[in-house]
Structures are given as structure tokens and as C-alpha cells.
A and B are shown apart, each in its own frame.
Chain A
Amino acid sequence: MSSEKMVEFKDFNKINDFEWEIPLTYRRDMQVPVRVFASEEIVRQSLKDKSIIQAVNSSSLPGLLNYVSVMPDVHQGYGFPIGGVAATDVQSGVISPGGIGYDINCGVRLLSSNISLGEAESEIETLSNLLFQEVPTGVGRGGTVSITKKDFARICETGSRWALKNGFASEMDVDLTESRGFLEGADFDCVSERAIERGIKQAGSLGSGNHFLEVDVVEEIFDTRAAEAMGLMVGNLALQIHCGSRGFGHQICSDFVREFQTSVRKYNIVLPDRELVCAPLQSEEGQRYLAAMRCAANFAFCNRQLLTHRARAVFERVFEKMAPDFHLRMVYDLAHNIGKIETHTLNGKQTKVCVHRKGATRAFGPHHEEIPSRYHLIGQPVLIPGSMGTASWVLNGTDTGMEKTFGSCCHGAGRLMSRTQAKKSVRGGDLLRELRDDGILVKAGSMSGLAEEAPQAYKDVDLVIESAVGAGLARKVARLKPVVVIKG
């Protein structure tokens, strides 16, 4: 068995134009097949890095159900690919920190406004300057909220509810967050002191890397009823916030990836990649990881809420005189990197599973009990940010997605170019000017960091969306165009 053997296009069985399968016969250690939901063009593109072989490696985990799903924005990660979904049986399966990712509950939220770009145009520069000034971004910046260890523990155990209780959120904000901004079963005692040290000073901070705050304009609407339910109107401004659990989540993942190196030996689990390490979900260490991971997920929900509070204050300051009834309302907030215990229909039976989503969003179809009432008829909003110079998309979940991918969809455009390669081929200053010429104001702490996140470093988000929609995982609701980008 070799984890290094690369997958070739001929190894796939075509199911339809947007579904391709690597069968169990491909490698002896596979427990389930791998299924890629993408166009032929994207499948061929994904063979250029290790993302598909990483999906094959992931399919060796014990207790997997159905198949490992690969989203159209897939790219190489470590252990699991980014853009992978794997569900394990809650009784006989495992939980793998690498299947959830280092930035636990890295996610995105979208807020809609009732002011148009036309009305706001003269204030956009002021808005961008104030957002950059007021929202802590970049390497080593602390958060906006000074908290005690007791507060931090409460945030970890109650998520966005802490923000609500302390005046940083409205009931509507919390109600329109995935899992209402709170995963039950978080246990602060399962978190290391080092993780606490890293997280406690970062509440209400954006961080660096691919995290951003972006003001968009709603460019096009594809589903009027769904857009109306989400408060999205053509020409109006919207705000996206993309960030996660900062150093806290990374430390929790690092701690358990290290601890589980021993667990796999203890439970006699043989894996082709050390980043895939896992423990039986019902084991003591599996339960401890789950409880610690939930702390980071709750922290991330609360962190995005604290950033929302800060950004809202800036928007209100800029627009309140111009539009006295101005508001910035939550559309939805969802996680990209998370492990959830969910109930899905498998072979006609309701089955409890542990869904690992790494670089993938939950995308539940209409009528699911987990969806807020305002979205019951249309399905859960699915938010797909593009790269900084390109469109972002709002979709909604479907019944087909529930059947095929445990109610999951892609999470972004997906990287195409390495950071090193992007820095070599793009100059941050030039990019800044080009985007400005296209009507996009960018504020960034570092020019090299900006070059790493250049649009050309990512796949064409529109092609990714065509694949997700073509595969039936989601339906189009609206397309957004960036106006202001604040990069960490």
C-alpha cells in the first residue's frame, strides 16, 4: 500500500457530469469509495495536487459511512483534503481532528443592509478606513474585548449566547447562526492551558491568512423568494465576515493530533498519513476531543459575533445620518471546519452520524428541524465567498444534498496556487491598484500577505458554483460583488 501513488483520471468511474467515483477496488485499505462532486474540468484540475489522494487516504478511516465526499473547491490540505466531507458511525466509527481542520469552526457570516451602493458611494472610502481602524486584523493583534478566564470558559461553553447575554448580539443574530451559535457538550476542562493562553487574548479579532471582512453589493438575484427571506436586494450593500477560532482552535487541534498518535496504536488503527490520526468516537480520548473541539467551535461563533458588533457600530456611525432606518441584519452564519453529530437517512433508516466537514459547509435542505423558521421552506442559506477580486455566492441547501453529501456543499473558490508561487507572480502594490481600478478598495496589513491571497491564486468561483449546483448540492440565490475588502 502506498499513500504516494497519485490518482489518474482513468481511475474514476463517471456517475454523471458532476459526480465521479473512485471505487473501493482502487486501494486495499479503502473502507468506502471516494466521490467527487465536480465538472470534468475541475476533476482534472484537482489531480494536479495531492487533494484526491488525500481523499483516498481519508477513506481508510474505520467506521466510515457511504463514501468520502469531495467538493468542487477541493485543494490539498494535510491528512484530509480541504473540501472533504466524511461521516462516521457514532457507535463504531472514529473522530479525526484532521478531518475537521486546525482552524476549528473557521466560517463565514453574511449580513444584509437596506442601503444601496448608489446611496452609500460617497462614504465608501470612509467606511473602509474606519473598518480597518476599528476591527483588529493581522498577525499578533489582540481582540476587541478584554475578558477574564471565567468569561473565556463561558464563551467556550455557551458560544454566541455569551455575546447575547453581554450585549454584543441580538436574538436574531443568534437565531440565524448555525446551531444557534452554540454546540452543546463543550467542556472547558478538556482544553489545554496553552490553548487558553493563545485564545483568551484573541476574542473579537479577525487574524491573518485568508480571513477577511468584506463589504459587497448584491449584483444579481436568481431566486426572488429566497433572496427576500434573506433580506437581499439587488444594489444593496452586504457584509461578509470570514474567520475562525484563531490560535485557540489551532492549539486544540495540534494537542489532539499529537495525543492521537498514541491512540491509533492503542486501538490498532493503521493509517496512511499521520495527520489522519483518530480515536474511536466513544472512547475516552474521542469524547475529550469532541468536548474540546466544541469549545473552539463555540469560541469561533462568538468571535464572529463580536466582530459583527464592532463592524455594525462602524456602519451605523457612517450611515445613520444618511439613512435613519439603516440596519445590518444577519442573513446566516455557518461553519466550514467542524465535526457535528447529526441524524441522516441512510438506507431508509434514521442514523446518528459524526459528520466531519473540512473546508465544506453544512447545506441542509428545506424543512429540516435545524433550520431557522424563516428558511424552513427554502433551505439553509449556503455562503460561498470568492477570492477578494471576484464574486461571492449565496445558495441554499437541497434535498439532493441531504441524500448525497450528508447535507454539505463547497465553502469557497479553493486555492489553485501555493502561497510561495502567488508571492512570486503577484506584487501586492500592483494588485491593490488593479483592484481599485475595478472599484474594489482593499485594506491590508501586509502587501506580501495580500499577494498570497490574490484572485489568481484561487479557482474560478463561478465554475465551482456551477459544479455544486450541477451536482444538485445547492441552488443559486444571489451573486455578490466586492466593494471593500479588509484583509488580515
Chain B
Amino acid sequence: MDDDYPEYKEIGHTADLQIIAYGKTLEELFLNAGKGMYYVAGAVLGKAKNKSRPILINENDPETLLISYLEKLLILVDRHLMTRSPRINISFTELSGEIPLYSLLEIKNEIKAVTYHEMEIVKVKGIYQTKITFDV
């Protein structure tokens, strides 16, 4: 795969919702995974809140780190908040950064959990990718 890769794409899963997220770096993969999650949830971004929230997550492996990151975004959704263009740095199993806050205007599907199902962060021709399955 070269530079021409999607941010994410939705794929079929019998009972739930599944995407593949892509990124040249782990940071980009995580950001695209967040965008993909918002897409399948049908989340609509509102106005900027002009404030941001620091984020710091430590986990044992990159997949668990991704799940924890997406769960942080779901906590925001519960509070009627979203983010756009968060600034994150990933150092193997630690994620740190700042999450700018926006209001959440609407959400169509409730994402109830982010699962490990078929999740494996791999690098294919220089591009990180992983499947992510959401329990709905």
C-alpha cells in the first residue's frame, strides 16, 4: 500500500459494527480509528468549546492502548462531547496529549463497547492497520 490509503472503512459483521482503520504512524492510526468510530456511531460534531482536556493512558500493549483511547472518546460522548484533531503522542504503550472539546449534536448508534475481536495492529507496506469491532 502506498500513500493512497483510506482513513478507515466500514466492513460487515453479523451482529455488530466493524471498521478497518489505517495510518502511516500509530498516532494517525489512532486518530483515524476515532474518526471511524464516530462515523459508525453517526456522531455529529457541534461547536468548539474552546477548551481541551489532557489525556494520558498506559497499557500493556498497543491494542489495549487503542481500546482505552477509544473508550475515552466514548466517555466524552456520554457527556455530549466530541473531539476533533486531538494532539496525541504514542510511545509504544503510552499515549499522551490534548483533546480539544466540541459539543456533540447528535448520535445515531450507541457504541456500547470496543472489543478485541480480530484487533491486531499490523504494518502492511509501511501503513499501520487494524480491524476494530464495536458492540452495539
Instruction: Point out residues on A near B: beta carbons under 8 Å.
Output: 49, 51, 75-79, 82, 102-103, 139-140, 194, 197-198, 207-209, 247, 250-251, 253-254, 257-258, 261-262, 273-275, 415-421, 446, 448-449
Contact among B12, B109, B114 for A418, CB-based, below 8 A: B12
Does chain A have a CB within 8 A of B11?
Answer: yes
Contact among A207, A416, A419, A421 for B110, CB-based, below 8 A: A207
The answer for the CA separation of A64 and B45 in the assembled complex, in Å, is: 48
Beyond A209-B110, A247-B112, whether A102 also contacts B14 by CB under 8 A is no
Residues of A contacting B42 in the complex (Cβ-Cβ under 8 angstroms): 448
The answer for the CA separation of A474 and B14 in the assembled complex, in Å, is: 26
The answer for the CA separation of A374 and B129 in the assembled complex, in Å, is: 56
Residues of B contacting A194 in the complex (Cβ-Cβ under 8 angstroms): 75
The answer for the CA separation of A144 and B118 in the assembled complex, in Å, is: 37
Residues of B contacting A140 in the complex (Cβ-Cβ under 8 angstroms): 107, 110
Q: A209-B112, A419-B16, A446-B108 are in contact. List 6 more A-B contacts (CB 8 A).
A: A78-B117, A78-B118, A102-B135, A258-B64, A261-B116, A262-B60
Query: Is the Cβ of B15 less than 8 Å from the Cβ of A76?
Result: yes
For chain B, the count of residues having a C-beta within 8 Å of the partner chain is 33
Does chain A have a CB within 8 A of B67?
Answer: yes
Query: Is the Cβ of A253 less than 8 Å from the Cβ of B64?
Result: no
Within 11-56 of B, Cβ neighbours of A (below 8 Å) are at 11-17, 42
Residues of A contacting B116 in the complex (Cβ-Cβ under 8 angstroms): 78, 257, 261, 273-275
The answer for the CA separation of A261 and B12 in the assembled complex, in Å, is: 26
Query: Is the Cβ of A419 less than 8 Å from the Cβ of B64?
Result: no
Does chain A have a CB within 8 A of B136?
Answer: yes
Query: Is the Cβ of A275 less than 8 Å from the Cβ of B113?
Result: no
Beyond A209-B136, A254-B71, whether A419 also contacts B13 by CB under 8 A is yes
| A266 nearest CB across to chain B (Å) | 12
Beyond A194-B75, A209-B136, whether A76 also contacts B112 by CB under 8 A is no
Residues of A contacting B108 in the complex (Cβ-Cβ under 8 angstroms): 139, 446, 448-449
Residues of B contacting A139 in the complex (Cβ-Cβ under 8 angstroms): 107-110
Does chain A have a CB within 8 A of B133?
Answer: yes
| A204 nearest CB across to chain B (Å) | 17
| A18 nearest CB across to chain B (Å) | 23
Contact among A102, A261, A418 for B112, CB-based, below 8 A: A102
Query: Is the Cβ of A417 less than 8 Å from the Cβ of B14?
Result: yes
Query: Is the Cβ of B15 less than 8 Å from the Cβ of A449?
Result: no
| B43 nearest CB across to chain A (Å) | 10
Contact among B12, B68, B133 for A421, CB-based, below 8 A: B12
Residues of A contacting B136 in the complex (Cβ-Cβ under 8 angstroms): 208-209, 419
Query: Is the Cβ of A250 less than 8 Å from the Cβ of B113?
Result: yes
Does chain A have a CB within 8 A of B93?
Answer: no
Query: Is the Cβ of B135 less than 8 Å from the Cβ of A250?
Result: yes
| A247 nearest CB across to chain B (Å) | 6
| A256 nearest CB across to chain B (Å) | 12
Query: Is the Cβ of B107 less than 8 Å from the Cβ of A418?
Result: no
Beyond A194-B75, A198-B78, A417-B14, whether A78 also contacts B115 by CB under 8 A is yes
The answer for the CA separation of A170 and B133 in the assembled complex, in Å, is: 40
Query: Is the Cβ of B67 less than 8 Å from the Cβ of A274?
Result: no
Beyond A208-B109, A415-B15, A420-B11, whether A261 also contacts B78 by CB under 8 A is no
Does chain A have a CB within 8 A of B7?
Answer: no
The closest CB in chain B to the CB of A141 belongs to B110
Instruction: Give 26 CB contacts A-B under 8 Å.
Output: A76-B13, A78-B116, A78-B117, A102-B135, A139-B108, A139-B109, A139-B110, A198-B78, A208-B109, A208-B110, A208-B136, A254-B113, A258-B67, A258-B68, A261-B61, A261-B116, A262-B60, A275-B115, A275-B116, A415-B14, A417-B14, A419-B12, A419-B13, A420-B10, A421-B12, A448-B42
